């Protein structure tokens, strides 16, 4: 069965109807409570088109979303209030906020919605039943969410960043309301299908981030699909150690060394080439103002810091080599920064990779999460890339070949 589209819902008519929309408003915040502000509104902007489309068609839109990982109870630092404030600034429709999720405030506000108005409920994860492992608890919470839509409700999942979770507002709700696939989810799937089914070659995958263990399954699945796998970030030190090199005090997952050696061996058999850095920026300590040196990747401890040195970025030679490989590709998928981009001294590798993607003639995809945050932090425009995913974890799990509960629920 194929998921119902948003266009099908609009064609059926939504004026006067309550439509529950699962959006992704899980945005980074800055400052101190209660003066928290959104530092990257990318996911809010990505969620806005579907919310607006429904409101302008006359729907009474109820938005449910999460922020952070609260422990099943209200926490001010995880309130959706700052995200809703930013949504109000961006939206051309009326946006209201309920101080609870399915409590008195939510019920009263939902009942009082007028055609074309939007109500955002407080963080759905403030209720422990949202993420419960107990099916009956999740189902009970989903029923309370569905009850907010009265007798003629519908459900739209537009939160790609949450479709890999078996949560009440993503999975169980589809058993109670007729469910539709939001435009954002549809676009994300179209992009990921281009990466997995018939990518234009050469196909280059750039992987970074802190840990190899976070990327094991995606590496496994891409070995037979990608032409080149470029590895940077903290995970590169496990690759270098697997080749027999010392890495000082750099991040190292010793329990993954054999796995990485296996990947390096299998890649040759499958016609996939791993490209590792040839130079590394090694720092005296993990700090923005730390002293640093550029040394060959195979002799990290030759830096003046010796075995205490910590690798915090790929070197300039490696960054340029990665950029050259990206420019020669017809398809590029990038997930994970090349270094500690939050510190300016160690942002060059990430900046160079991002710039290379903006100058590519191929189809370029930034795989959400830290990569999306990095390109915006470093001043790049979203429109300069083929696609910036809103779902880091969901994107990776899709590329791993896993079934994502939220997508499966839309297809049933």
pTM, to two decimals: 0.89
Neighbours of 386 (CB within 10 A): 18
Known active-site residue 359 = no
Known active-site residue 393 = yes
Indicate which residue of 248, 349, 362, 369 is catalytic: 369
Residue 165 is assigned to a ligand binding site = yes
Known active-site residue 31 = no
Residue 24 is assigned to a ligand binding site = yes
CA distance 395 to 43: 15
Q: And the tokens for 234?
A: 């903290």
pLDDT of residue 147: 98
Residue 45 is assigned to a ligand binding site = no
Neighbours of 210 (CB within 10 A): 17
CA distance 241 to 267: 17
Task: Give the CA distances from residue 22 to residues 14, 51, 61, 277, 287, in Å, rounded to whole numbers and listed in that order.
Answer: 17, 10, 10, 41, 39
Known active-site residue 182 = no
Indicate which residue of 17, 43, 129, 376 is catalytic: 43
- What stretches in the chain show pLDDT beneath 70? 1
Residue 215 is assigned to a ligand binding site = yes
Indicate which residue of 45, 88, 194, 211 is catalytic: 211
Residue 368 is assigned to a ligand binding site = yes
Q: And the tokens for 153?
A: 């409700």
Residue 229 is assigned to a ligand binding site = no
pLDDT of residue 263: 95
Residue showing tokens 């929309």: 21
Sheet holding 387-388, edge to edge: 273-275, 228-231, 203-207, 331-335, 363-366, 387-388
pLDDT of residue 216: 85
Residue 389, C-beta contacts closer than 8 angstroms, at least 6 positions apart: 160, 188, 191, 365, 366, 367, 368, 372, 395
Extract the runs of DSSP E, i.e. beta strands, from 40-137.
60-64, 95-97, 118-120
Which residue in 400, 393, 409, 410 sits closest to 164, CA to CA? 393
Residue 69 is assigned to a ligand binding site = yes
Residue showing tokens 């992009």: 191
CA distance 344 to 342: 6
Neighbours of 349 (CB within 10 A): 29
Judged by DSSP in three states, 360 sits in coil
CA distance 290 to 30: 24
Q: And the tokens for 77?
A: 């630092």
Residue 25 is assigned to a ligand binding site = yes
Indicate which residue of 58, 103, 116, 393 is catalytic: 393
Query: Before 194, cis peptide (omega within 30)?
Result: no
Q: And the tokens for 300?
A: 């990290």
Strand partners, 231: 207
Judged by DSSP in three states, 71 sits in coil
Residue 380, C-beta contacts closer than 8 angstroms, at least 6 positions apart: 354, 355, 358
Exposure of 318 by Cβ count < 10 A (0-12 exposed, 13-18 middle, 19+ buried)?
buried
pLDDT of residue 1: 58
pLDDT of residue 197: 87
Residue 30 phi, psi dihedral angles, 5° rounding: -135, 160
Residue 67 is assigned to a ligand binding site = yes
Give the containing element (helix H, strand E) for 406. helix 405-411
């Amino acid at each position: 069965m194929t998921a119902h589209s948003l266009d099908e819902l609009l064609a059926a008519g939504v004026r006067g109807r309550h439509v529950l929309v699962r959006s992704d408003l899980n945005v980074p915040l800055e400052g101190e409570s209660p003066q928290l502000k959104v530092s990257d509104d990318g996911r809010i902007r990505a969620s806005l088109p579907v919310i607006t489309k429904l409101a302008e068609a006359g729907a009474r839109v109820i938005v449910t979303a999460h922020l952070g990982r609260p422990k099943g109870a209200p926490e001010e630092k995880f309130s959706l209030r700052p995200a809703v404030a930013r949504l109000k600034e961006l939206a051309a429709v009326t946006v209201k906020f309920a101080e609870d999720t399915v409590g008195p405030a939510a019920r009263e506000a939902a009942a009082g919605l007028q055609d074309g108005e939007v109500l955002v409920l407080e963080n759905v994860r403030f209720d422990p039943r949202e993420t419960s492992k107990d099916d009956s608890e999740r189902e009970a919470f989903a029923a309370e969410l569905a009850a907010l839509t009265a007798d003629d409700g519908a459900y739209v999942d537009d939160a790609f960043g949450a479709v890999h979770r078996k949560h009440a507002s993503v999975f169980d709700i589809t058993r109670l309301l007729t469910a539709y696939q939001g435009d954002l989810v549809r676009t994300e799937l179209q992009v990921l299908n281009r990466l997995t089914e018939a990518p234009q070659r050469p196909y280059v995958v750039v992987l970074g981030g802190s840990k190899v263990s976070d990327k094991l399954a995606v590496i496994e699945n891409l070995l037979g699909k990608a032409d080149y796998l470029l590895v940077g970030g903290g995970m590169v030190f496990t690759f270098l150690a697997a080749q027999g090199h010392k890495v000082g005090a750099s991040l190292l997952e010793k329990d993954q060394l054999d796995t990485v050696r296996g990947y390096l061996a299998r890649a040759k058999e499958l016609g996939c080439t791993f490209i590792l850095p040839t130079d590394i920026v090694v720092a005296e300590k993990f700090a923005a103002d730390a002293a640093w040196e550029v040394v060959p990747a195979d002799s990290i401890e030759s830096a003046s810091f010796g075995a205490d040195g910590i690798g915090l970025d790929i070197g300039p030679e490696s960054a340029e080599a990665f950029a050259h490989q990206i420019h020669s590709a017809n398809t590029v998928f990038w997930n994970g920064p090349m270094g500690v981009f939050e510190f300016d001294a160690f942002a060059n590798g990430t900046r160079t990779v991002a710039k290379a993607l903006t100058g590519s003639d191929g189809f370029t995809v930034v795989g959400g999460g830290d990569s999306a945050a990095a390109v915006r932090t470093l001043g790049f425009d979203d429109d300069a890339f083929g696609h910036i995913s809103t779902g880091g974890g969901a994107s990776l799990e899709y590329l791993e070949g896993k079934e994502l509960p939220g997508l499966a629920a839309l297809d049933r």
